[in-house]
Structures are given as C-alpha cells and as structure tokens.
C-alpha cells in the first residue's frame, strides 16, 4: 500500500509545526481530595480550557486495545494508539486469546521450554509481575501456564514474584500471595515460590535507566542471594514489619527457602519464562539471560529462555517468545517520513521509548534519519517524589531550541511527571508534578505562536487525577488507619485533548464523534498539517469547513 499522503484544503494555512504534547498520567478525574490535577495551580491549562476547543478522550480499555473497559490503559498502549491512528489488540488481549485457544501451548517455543526440563529433569522458572493489574502481566496467565506444565508432567516449577503495588493497590500483595500459595501447594507440593522483591527495586528496569535493578534481580533469582523467608507471604509480612512505611513496589529482594536452603536458584539446564507481556521492562532482564550486560553476573546458567512476548522486534529480544506481539504497520511517523516531513521526538529517559519505539508501532530506530530527530534527556535516579519536576524544563528547552532551528513539520514530546510521580502515591509531589507541566506548557505556547504552529495537548492515560483510593460504596476517600489510602495505579478516567491554534478563525469545528479515543489524534494532527489521513485511520476530531 502506498505511503503517499494527499493534501487537503487546509494545506499551507499553518506554516509552523504541529506539536503533540503528551501530559503523561494527567487525566480528567473526579472532583475530590485526591485529585492532584484539580488541586494543582494550573493557570495555563485553565486558560486553554476556557479559550480553546477541547474534548475528553478514552484512554483505557477497548479504546487502546485492552480486553475490556475494566482494564486501565498505560503509556505503551496509549502511545501505540497515538502513533498508529488505529487500535490494535494489545498484549493482555493477545495472551488471553492464546491461552484460551491453547495456541500458546501448541507453539514451538512452549514445547522447547517444557521438553528441556522434562528431558533434563530440571526446574521450570517463571519470573514476572505478580498481580492482576493487566498492564505488564496477569496472575491468571501465570496460573494457566503452571497448570499446563503440571499436566505435561513437569516435576519442579519455581516462581520468582515481582511484587506490584503500582498497577494495583500499593499494599495489596497479600491479596495475591496467600491465595496463590494455597493454590500452588494443592496443585503440586513440589512447586513453589523461589524469590521475589518489589518491582521498583529489582528486575524491571527499563530504557537502561538503572542496570543496578537488573543486577539485584540476577543476584536474587539466579544466585539466590538475599534474606531468606519460609514463604512468599512470610517475606511480605516480615519485610513490612522491618519497615512499616515500605509499599509493595519498594519491598527489598528476598529468597524463599525450603528444608533450610534456597528453594530454586537458576542452574544450567533449567528453563526460564519471563511472563510479563509488556515490552519496556522485559528487555534488560532478557539480555541478562541471553546477551551482554554491564555487570558481573558471576555465573550465567545455560538455560532455555523465553519471554511471554518478543519485547524488541528489531533487536530480536528475546529470540524465543510464547505469543507474537501486535503487528502495527503504517504508523503516523512512517507516513510522515515517507513524505519527507520533518519530525522531532523528545522526552526524558523514562518515556523516551514511548515517543520513539511505541509511537512507531513497537519498532526501534528511524524510518528516515534525514528527516527525523530523536532527543533523549537523561533522567535522574532520584526518587520521583523527591524531584517531581523531573526533566520537564530540559525537555521544553530542547523542543523550543530544535523547533526554532527548523520551525515546521511535526513534533511530539512527553512530560513524564504526572505518571511517574503519580505512581509514588505522594499527593503533594503529584500536585507539584502537574504544576511543573503547566509551567512548561506556558513556555511552549508563545514559542508555537511565534512560529505559526499548532499544539495538540493530550495524555496517554490517567494517574495523578486519583492519588487516593476511592471507596466504591460511599464514593469518598478510602481510609486506612485514619489516613487516606494512597493510590499508585493508573485510572480509568478519560484524558483531555486541547487544540491550541493561535491563527484559528473558524476554519473547522470539533467533529462530535461518539466516544473518541487516543487513536483519533493522528488523523487530527494530519488534518492540521494539511494532509488527508489514510482511509483506515480513525476519523479526525475536527471537521474542516471547506
């Protein structure tokens, strides 16, 4: 199919750049005491809402390819939808179908994993995020694979549990650990949990921001180094007793012992499945088992390794995977590159992959480097709640600098603050994070006006809009020990989409689509740049008058 873009009647009416700003994690939440977005002082956003056309967009559930509207969105699926202009079935939905249809268990990768441990009478290890958050993983996927392994006669299974508290309640771990341990013991007493730790402490680093997390995970899962406990639940309880302030995502690493020794370090001849389906936090741990890493592994066991999905298709990481990822083609960026349109993508490390890899349909690298500029601002390692402004100012500096050098084409940037600080559960820090984004928008607007461009301001999902858990029965804040219970997960709320067009003179109207979502933004940006969107793209949010 041709990648040629046809011009529309708006072509040439805006000579400056069209810029999409993703306010990561800034949703349209309820008016209550835990909404950091509403509690923040945001004079710039307030003015935009009062003077510009805007509307709410769906950013979760089926609008971004998740199995149901009970499933929250996330930055990966959000940026996929923004960049693709269409909605593709995403990881959770693909894995769910592969399990239900049993295609996963008939696949060559699964058979290699199982046959290896049966032939060598070795251990099958599962490493992954231990919850039903359905953002990186789902515990039901893990249980389905363990049940199948048991049916196929695997003698020993070990689970390495990365405790969540981020996509689910911040101290909800025991709601998962206790039922799971009872279920696992009843299924097969030779199966068990081998190790674990908080997801923000071990194993699940992304974008090479902190390889120390991977090294700690390696020491925990492979070498079985760390404080020992008799069970997974005992570890959670014991670590909470040692530090009552610790939340699940920050739990220190631990090892589970049986008969006075670690239950299951990872050895030569074992099989290992990393059961997260989302890509960003699966790449580095996969490299640790299959490639080169910047730390001393001490020993590298010869294992049959598989990911739930392939986390980087361009780099083939990992080579063996259980479920194929969505095939996203003809993205917004690919069309622009094919038509010689200048593009800029910019964010800090925490979200750099989102404005590049995920925006481009899970593809690394450039479509055409002669017309594309990708700018990564290195993130700090300081805890986000202690530095909620993060690198928003530096992103703003770089975008303005680059656009002034070449004030045309298309740009996309991500302010990570509302999401990364929202995940900490610290309300006051989240308020500052939103105010930071507002200040940066106030700096961008005059620059875009000066260039004769257009801003589309949106978000990929909600987060900072609900910093306290809401009691479903009363509608009020859920209390725990007399204080509001922090919420660290994404929300199901819609997100704003604001069109700032300083040269606007009634050339278009909002189109009045029924329940539009993030996938409609691409066609909108193309229209404002003077191009007709591809026929199969979701429709634009605006209707041109001529």
- Angle at alpha carbon of residue 436, lines to 434 and 442, rounded to 5°: 105
Q: Distance between CA 30 and CA 452 in Å, rounded?
A: 35
DSSP result, 36-78: HHHHS--HHHHHHHHHS-EEEEB-SGGGGT-SSTTS---HHHH
Reply yes or no on whether the pLDDT at 315 is more than 80: no
Element (H, E) at 261: strand 261-262
pLDDT in tens, 113-126: 999 999 999 999 99
Q: What is the pLDDT of residue 314?
A: 58
Quick check: 325 and 279 in contact, CB under 8 A?
yes
Residue found under tokens 């080169």 = 292
Q: Which pair of structure tokens corresponds to residue 444? A: 């961008």
Q: Distance between CA 120 and CA 171 in Å, rounded?
A: 39
**Region of 121 on the Ramachandran plot (φ > 0 left; ψ -120 to 50 alpha; else beta):** left
Reply yes or no on whether the pLDDT at 138 is more than 80: yes
Q: Distance between CA 520 and CA 511 in Å, rounded?
A: 11
- The packing angle between helices 521-529 and 75-84, to 10°, is 40
Question: CA Rg, the chain, in Å?
Answer: 24
Split at pLDDT 50, 70, 90, the class of 313 is: low
pLDDT in tens, 482-511: 899 999 888 999 999 999 999 999 999 999
Q: Select from 146, 370, 182 the least CA-distant residue to 271.
A: 146
Q: Residues 461-487: what's their mean pLDDT? A: 90
- Phi, psi (deg, nearest 5) at residue 90: -105, 180
* Percent of the residues in the chain that have a pLDDT greater than 90, as a whole number: 88
- Total residues belonging to the chain: 546
Q: What is the pLDDT of residue 362?
A: 87
What SS3 state is found at 435? helix
Q: What is the pLDDT of residue 488?
A: 86
Q: Walk me through the domains of the chain, giving residue ranges and CATH numbers.
A: 19-89+328-540 (3.40.720.10), 92-323 (3.40.1450.10)
Reply yes or no on whether the pLDDT at 104 is more than 80: yes
Q: Which pair of structure tokens corresponds to residue 424? A: 């900490």
Question: Which residues are known catalytic residues?
Answer: 75
> What is the value of pTM for the model shown?
0.78
Q: Distance between CA 468 and CA 483 in Å, rounded?
A: 10
């Amino acid at each position: 199919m041709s990648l040629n873009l046809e011009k529309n009647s708006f072509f040439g009416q805006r000579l400056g750049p069209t810029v999409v700003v993703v306010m990561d994690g800034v949703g349209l939440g309820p008016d209550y005491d835990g909404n950091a977005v509403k509690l923040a002082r945001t004079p710039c956003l307030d003015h935009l809402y009062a003077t510009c056309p805007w509307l709410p967009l769906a950013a979760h559930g089926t609008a971004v390819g998740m199995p149901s509207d009970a499933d929250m969105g996330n930055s990966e699926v959000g940026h996929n939808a923004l960049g693709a202009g269409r909605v593709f079935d995403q990881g959770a939905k693909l894995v769910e179908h592969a399990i239900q249809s049993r295609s996963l268990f008939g696949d060559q990768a699964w058979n290699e994993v199982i046959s290896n441990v049966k032939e060598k009478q070795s251990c099958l290890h599962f490493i992954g995020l231990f919850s039903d958050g359905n953002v990186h993983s789902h515990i039901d996927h893990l249980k389905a694979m363990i049940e199948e392994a048991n049916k196929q006669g695997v003698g020993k299974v070990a689970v390495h549990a990365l405790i969540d508290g981020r996509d689910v309640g911040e101290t909800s771990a025991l709601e998962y650990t206790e039922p799971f341990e009872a279920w696992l013991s009843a299924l097969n007493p030779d199966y068990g949990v081998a190790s674990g730790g908080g997801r923000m402490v071990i194993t699940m680093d992304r974008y090479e921001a902190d390889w120390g997390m991977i090294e700690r995970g390696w020491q925990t899962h492979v070498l079985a180094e760390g404080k020992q406990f008799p069970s997974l639940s005992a570890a959670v309880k014991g670590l909470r007793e040692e530090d009552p302030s610790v939340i699940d995502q920050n739990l220190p690493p631990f090892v589970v012992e049986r008969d006075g020794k670690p239950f299951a370090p990872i050895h030569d001849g074992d099989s290992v499945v990393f059961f997260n389906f989302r890509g960003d936090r699966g790449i580095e741990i996969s490299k640790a088992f299959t490639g080169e890493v910047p730390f001393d592994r001490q020993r590298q066991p010869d294992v049959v390794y598989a990911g739930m999905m392939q986390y980087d298709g361009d780099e083939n990481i990992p080579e063996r995977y259980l479920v194929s990822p969505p095939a996203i083609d003809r993205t917004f960026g690919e069309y622009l590159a094919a038509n010689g349109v200048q593009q800029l993508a910019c964010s800090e490390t925490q979200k750099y992959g989102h404005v590049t890899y995920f925006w481009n349909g899970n593809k690394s690298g450039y479509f055409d480097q002669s017309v594309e500029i990708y700018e990564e601002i290195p993130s700090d390692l300081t805890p986000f709640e202690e530095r909620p402004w993060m690198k928003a100012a530096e992103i703003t500096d770089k975008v303005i600098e680059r656009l002034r050098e070449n004030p045309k084409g298309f740009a996309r940037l991500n302010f990570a603050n509302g999401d990364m600080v929202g995940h900490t559960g610290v309300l006051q820090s989240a308020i500052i994070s939103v105010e930071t984004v507002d200040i940066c928008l106030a700096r961008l607007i005059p620059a875009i006006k000066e260039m004769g461009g257009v801003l589309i301001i949106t978000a990929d999902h909600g987060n900072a809009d609900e910093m306290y858990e809401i009691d479903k029965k009363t509608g009020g804040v859920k209390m725990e020990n007399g204080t509001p219970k922090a919420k660290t997960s994404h929300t199901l709320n819609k997100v704003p989409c604001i069109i700032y067009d300083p040269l606007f003179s009634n050339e278009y109207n909002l189109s009045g689509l029924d329940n539009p979502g993030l996938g409609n933004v691409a066609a909108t940006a193309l229209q404002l740049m003077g191009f007709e969107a591809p026929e199969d793209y979701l429709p634009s949010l605006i209707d041109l008058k001529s």
